[in-house]
Amino acid sequence: MNGFWAVCKRELKSYFTTPVAYVFLVIFLFFAGYLPFKDQFFEFRQADLRLFFYWVPMLLVFMVPCTAMRLWSEERKSGSIELLLTLPISVPQAVLGKFVAAWLFLGLALLLTFPMPITVAYLGAPDWGRIVTGYTGSFLMAGGYLAVGCFFSALSKNQVISFILAVAACAILLSAGLPTTLNYLSTFLPMGLVSAVESMSFQTHFDSIQRGVLEFKDLSYFVLLIVGWVWGCTIVLQERKSA
């Protein structure tokens, strides 16, 4: 456990010792505010964050891999991964330490969007339950994207390649639940397979959480997805350590 916290604190501190974290936060917050207002936020005359959460999945699908691509690719490129893996900590501790630090950083980015709920509270009487569950779903989705990004970061020492692979994988998992995708698949696949594809989508479970109810099937989806991809990252690094 000490090794986990040491890696986590080291990684979290490293975000703010370079301008990268601040550039990421500025870009994320700009688009998080710009996209809902671009879609005529005030014209809907409803005090809610529907448009904000509509754009969150698409925004995170690009921003989260930007955070994840450096986690292991940079360590491998600089050669510091050999030093890290020879320290008296296990590979799972190192992987979890880096993952949790990055997830907390993404959580901070979401928290800094607090002017959005303050704005809708000023304009009317929003449903705070749906806002809280919307942020919860956004945080879980960020963790899911991050787990995918961690895996591809461990797979390649080239940050650009790991970024592209992570974006592609996350985009596939996201678009699998979109109506257009499901309508297309239903033209040549049985409905059972279409439903299975839909159940594997980020969008499906995120939309379910946004309705204001945290159901076990949605929470377990994100937990299992995160655990699975993080475990895959651990296996890749363990194989590299023993090679």
The reported pLDDT for the residue numbered 81 is: 63
Output the six-digit token pair for 62. 């690009």
Return the ∠ at Cα 68 (arms to 23 and 166), rounded to 5°. 115
- In sign, the C-alpha dihedral spanning 81, 83, 84, 88 is positive
Across the chain, which has 243 residues, the per-10-residue mean pLDDT values are: 80 84 90 79 68 90 89 70 69 89 94 90 84 94 95 88 93 87 82 85 89 88 95 87 62
> Distance between CA 147 and CA 16 in Å, rounded?
21
The reported pLDDT for the residue numbered 167 is: 94
| Whether 29 contacts 112, CB under 8 Å | yes
Q: How crowded is residue 111: how many other Cβ atoms within 10 Å of its Cβ?
A: 10
The reported pLDDT for the residue numbered 212 is: 81
pTM listed for this prediction? 0.91
The reported pLDDT for the residue numbered 219 is: 93
Domain layout of the chain by residue ranges: 2-242
